[in-house]
Structure 1
Amino acid sequence: MTRKKPLVVVTRKLPDVIETRMMELFDTRLNADDQPRSAEELLAAVQTADVLVPTVTDRIDEALIKAAGENLKLIASFGAGVDHIDLKAAKAKGITVTNTPGVLAEDTADMTMALILAVCRRINEGEQTLREGEWQGWAPTWMLGRRLYGKRIGIIGMGRIGTALARRARAFGLSVHYHNRNRVGPELEAELEATYWESLDQMLARMDIVSINCPHTPATFHILSARRLKLLQKHAVIVNTARGELIDEKTLADLLIAGDIGGAGLDVYEREPQLAPKLLRAKNTVLLPHMASATLEGRIDMGERVIINIKTFADGHKPPDRVLGELL
């Protein structure tokens, strides 16, 4: 007798190769038009599905999980972050949650380095000057940026992405400093020639560049608070490719407009897709629409991890990317 395929509901369009494979393996409901699912559509999905495949833009809160049907036993999130899912509610309901860790580190580190270069060397401003027909020719003191070589970068969160960024930073001649919940091993520290700071405040006050690469949790909300932002040196540059909620965005915008921070490269925002209007007025910023992980290879890798998690779970085994208790 053929085993019944699990009903899998996917909330957004995924790469074609991933959707094709899902259709082969599971009883899959896709989102062909790629429009974000409404609260009503998400409710219908959790009440009918065996497996829900949401993305980081879907809010899977306590109320939605409590309303889920008895068949829903797995939330296989398409993304590394899980701050959009109420993990405690899922655990209480007996629903396993998985994510897709590790596959986006290199892509995100690439974009973080690109933002550092773009802000420090004023790439965005230079290109805009050309496009608007304002360039009058080369001049010795025009459009001066800041050299990367020899500067200090402070990395907040030395996980996979932070480590990948540190390797790139070393190649550019930056001095690597970091703050992390736990100090990394001596071998990695030696490889990166990295200096550990137990005090985030002390590190921030001494850095030329600060990159945020930690997850968003209740403990890290506004880790760069108004008070901490004011510790930064006036020429310091902030780059965020992690989560917008990690920075007090309004205060950051005010400091940028006032010239009290050297610049910012942002890929994520506190209330996406909206952002503080003052950020758009700050010339010393490079703003991207949450695209640090947006490579075809990365999205396919994510989809393959989702498929592995679903297939393993459906076969009666523990999926490899379970979000475990330490995140609760």
Structure 2
Amino acid sequence: MKRVLLTRPLPDRVVEAARTHFEVELRDDPAPLKLGQMRGALALYDGVLPTLGDMFSAEVFADAENPRCKILANFGVGYNHIDAAAARGAGISVTNTPGAVTDATADIAMTLILMSARRAGEGERMVRAGKWPGWNPTQMLGLHVSGKTVGIIGMGRIGQAIAQRCHYGFGMDVIYYNRSPKPMEFPARQVESLEALAAQADIVVVAVPGGAETHHIVGSSVFEAMKPSGHFVNIARGDVVNEAALIAALQAGAFAGAGLDVYEKEPIVPEALKAMENVTLLPHLGTAALEVREAMGLMAVENLRAFFAGEIPPNLVN
């Protein structure tokens, strides 16, 4: 029986499924693996089920000559924490879990759109602090979302799910920026640049995958182009946004507010962001629903099962 490492605590249903196929070692620590632990895992296990934060960089694979581990079955759709090319060079396959995360992540985008536009975080803090003086006609006036224009950066599965929610649920006009032409099956208009999108949208949502190609794809030029009444939402990866430029733009009042689920150096959140009332901050909740995390885990387990059975894993990325 193949020996597999699960690098973090996972839902019981996922662990049970893994144990039906493999000899499983479950690491009962929510912290990411360290460099030495990752190198050890490549030598000690036939397969590893890692996740966000387990930084399998080129350095990890550098001295791994014919490692025992032949597959990294990532728990999550994003795998920019794994150097897939370096893994391939070491003879290690990489898989991910697309599909299972789409709706849950799109729902968190909608949560942040509404929280930021309607100042929900600010209002909740005021009530908890006992500072609410009671209703009045001009208190905490925010942006009415229905009928506005949403601009989506990255029109993959998640971007499209967000767009559909905005269009069909809130009657919003949808514009989008994508690195390649991509026609939609619902009303949406592709624009030629990030700055053009930012200038036209009332709400800008980032939904691109992480990685070297999208690192800091959103920076000062985008923030400067946004409407003063605009809102910015990021549910992608923290490092696709230049966090320093975001903070500077917010402090300068370039736009009205931001909703963030991800950060450039998680779990570190800059004090400047925490200090601003017009910024909604969530602790990377994109897929944080039990049934979603179960689906992700079962998909990763199936990738492992298929690989060791000599089949092509359903979600092979290299």
TM range (shorter): over 0.9
Q: Following TM superposition, by how much is the alpha carbon of 1:52 offset from its aligned partner in structure 2, in angstroms?
A: 1.1
Q: Following TM superposition, by how much is the alpha carbon of 1:126 offset from its aligned partner in structure 2, in angstroms?
A: 1.0
Matched residue, 2:228: 234
Does the CA contact (< 8 Å) of 1:176 and 1:195 recur in 2?
A: yes
Which of structure 1's runs of 4+ aligned residues deviate more than 4 A? none
Matched residue, 1:88: 85
Question: Which runs of no fewer than 5 residues in structure 2 stay unpaired?
Answer: none
For residue 266 of structure 1, what is the amino acid of its counterpart? Answer: L
For residue 314 of structure 1, what is the amino acid of its counterpart? Answer: F
Does the CA contact (< 8 Å) of 2:208 and 2:236 recur in 1?
A: yes
CA RMSD, Structure 1 to Structure 2 (Å): 1.3
Please state if 1:253 is matched with 2:247.
Answer: yes
Please state if 1:24 is matched with 2:42.
Answer: no
For residue 177 of structure 2, what is the amino acid of its counterpart? Answer: H
Q: Following TM superposition, by how much is the alpha carbon of 1:38 offset from its aligned partner in structure 2, in angstroms?
A: 2.5
Q: Following TM superposition, by how much is the alpha carbon of 1:288 offset from its aligned partner in structure 2, in angstroms?
A: 0.5
What per-residue deviation string (whole Å, max 9, x for no partner) do you get for residues 12-71 of structure 1? 011011111212210111012434333222221111111011101100011212333521
Matched residue, 2:50: 54
Q: 118, 127, 131: which one pairs with 1:130? A: 127
Which secondary structure does the structure 2 equivalent of 1:205 belong to? helix
Please state if 1:174 is matched with 2:168.
Answer: no
Q: Distance in 1 between matches of 2:260 and 2:176?
A: 19
CA shift in 2, pair 1:34/1:199, >3 Å: closer
Q: Distance in 2 between matches of 1:201 and 1:37?
A: 38
Q: Distance in 2 between matches of 1:302 and 1:67?
A: 31
For residue 272 of structure 2, what is the amino acid of its counterpart? Answer: K
Does the CA contact (< 8 Å) of 2:154 and 2:207 recur in 1?
A: yes
Q: Following TM superposition, by how much is the alpha carbon of 1:219 offset from its aligned partner in structure 2, in angstroms?
A: 1.8
What per-residue deviation string (whole Å, max 9, x for no partner) do you get for residues 231-280 of structure 1? 11111100001100011111211221222221000000001111222101
For residue 212 of structure 2, what is the amino acid of its counterpart? Answer: P
**Which region of structure 1 is more displaced relative to structure 2, 101-110 or 224-233?**
224-233
What per-residue deviation string (whole Å, max 9, x for no partner) do you get for residues 130-183 of structure 1? 111111111111110110122110001111111111111011121111111223
Does the CA contact (< 8 Å) of 2:195 and 2:221 recur in 1?
A: no
For residue 175 of structure 2, what is the amino acid of its counterpart? Answer: H
Which secondary structure does the structure 1 equivalent of 2:137 belong to? coil
Count the aligned residue pairs.
Answer: 316
TM-score between the two structures when normalised by the length of structure 2: 0.96
Q: Distance in 2 between matches of 1:229 and 1:127?
A: 27
Please state if 1:282 is matched with 2:282.
Answer: no
Matched residue, 1:119: 116
For residue 222 of structure 2, what is the amino acid of its counterpart? Answer: R
Q: Distance in 2 between matches of 1:148 and 1:89?
A: 44
Q: Distance in 2 between matches of 1:35 and 1:244?
A: 18
Q: Following TM superposition, by how much is the alpha carbon of 1:303 offset from its aligned partner in structure 2, in angstroms?
A: 0.8
Question: Which runs of no fewer than 5 residues in structure 1 stay unpaired?
Answer: none
Matched residue, 1:76: 73
Q: 165, 182, 185: which one pairs with 2:183? A: 185
Q: Distance in 1 between matches of 2:299 and 2:272?
A: 39
Mapping of residues 197-208 of structure 1, within 5 Å: 197-208=191-202
Q: Following TM superposition, by how much is the alpha carbon of 1:116 offset from its aligned partner in structure 2, in angstroms?
A: 0.3
For residue 57 of structure 1, what is the amino acid of its counterpart? Answer: G
Does the CA contact (< 8 Å) of 1:257 and 1:281 recur in 2?
A: no
Does the CA contact (< 8 Å) of 2:33 and 2:53 recur in 1?
A: no
Q: Distance in 2 between matches of 1:62 and 1:301?
A: 29
TM-score between the two structures when normalised by the length of structure 1: 0.93
Does the CA contact (< 8 Å) of 2:55 and 2:81 recur in 1?
A: yes
Q: Distance in 2 between matches of 1:35 and 1:221?
A: 24
Q: How high is the sequence identity, in percent, across the aligned residues?
A: 40
For residue 257 of structure 2, what is the amino acid of its counterpart? Answer: G
Which secondary structure does the structure 2 equivalent of 1:211 belong to? strand
Q: Distance in 2 between matches of 1:120 and 1:94?
A: 48
